[in-house]
Chains A and B, each alone.
Chain A
Amino acid sequence: DAGITQSPRHKVTETGTPVTLRCHQTENHRYMYWYRQDPGHGLRLIHYSYGVKDTDKGEVSDGYSVSRSKTEDFLLTLESATSSQTSVYFCAISEKDRDYEQYFGPGTRLTVT
């Protein structure tokens, strides 16, 4: 299995609080992605990174920010969590020269009450 970990694996938080999810990889892959998965919507891209300090928005980026200060870490921050951000969050990594074959982390289940 690709070396990808996510932390925390489960979190319950209250509306309005800030939350940071961490994705850590040991594969030295250039590309890292944050997705959310909700019933009926499949996987939707929140943000992605194509290198250290290089990030771009996905299709559902409102209310989320990201940072990548090291190759191995990609952080997703919810500045002020809302109930609509209750979801399962997956991190993924890939390499462009492998035509975007992606490997996923185990996921973080976030509940905003």
Chain B
Amino acid sequence: EDKVVQSPLSLVVHEGDTVTLNCSYEVTNFRSLLWYKQEKKAPTFLFMLTSSGIEKKSGRLSSILDKKELSSILNITATQTGDSAIYLCAVGRNRDDKIIFGKGTRLHILP
């Protein structure tokens, strides 16, 4: 059975710290890996990764995919209280167009 596993499930850090969130997957017919941020409402898209080793960056957030290790990381540097959210990882697969989500990492930034 295909699955996406995120770690840690929960993380509390202080403002200014750097955090690394992990996502590993066991998915046949992999097509893409996606990261989302969810605050109190709907998830919002952060990154989509299809090629191994190419970093995607947006401000203080960055992400990279390792297809050999079947994993991805999401880095947030100089964290701010506004980064507090649930971060979701998802994987799209070719054979049936489904997207499988992990359970998310709940990140809380202390002021």
Q: Which residues of B contact A62 (CB under 8 A)?
A: none
Residue-wise, chain A 88-102 has the 8 Å CB interface mask toward B (1 for contact) of 001000101011111
Q: How many residues of A contact B (CB 8 A)?
A: 26
Rounded to whole angstroms, the CA-CA distance of A39 and B12 in the bound complex is: 18
User: Is B96 within 8 A of A100, CB to CB?
Assistant: no
Contact check: which of B36, B48, B88, B99 meets A33 at CB < 8 Å?
B99
Interface membership of chain A positions 26-55, coded 1 if the CB is closer than 8 angstroms to chain B and 0 otherwise: 000001010100001111110010100000
Task: Take A40-B103, A43-B88 as given contacts and tell me if A101 and B42 are in contact as well, using a CB distance cutoff of 8 Å.
Answer: no
Q: Which A residues are in CB contact (< 8 Å) with B32?
A: 99-101
| B62 CB–A CB distance under 8 Å | no
List 29 A–B pairs whose Cβ atoms lie within 8 Å, in order of A's numbering.
Answer: A31-B97, A33-B99, A35-B101, A41-B103, A42-B88, A43-B88, A44-B101, A45-B98, A56-B98, A90-B42, A94-B99, A99-B31, A99-B50, A99-B92, A100-B32, A100-B34, A100-B48, A100-B92, A101-B32, A101-B34, A101-B48, A102-B34, A102-B45, A102-B90, A102-B99, A103-B45, A105-B42, A106-B41, A107-B41
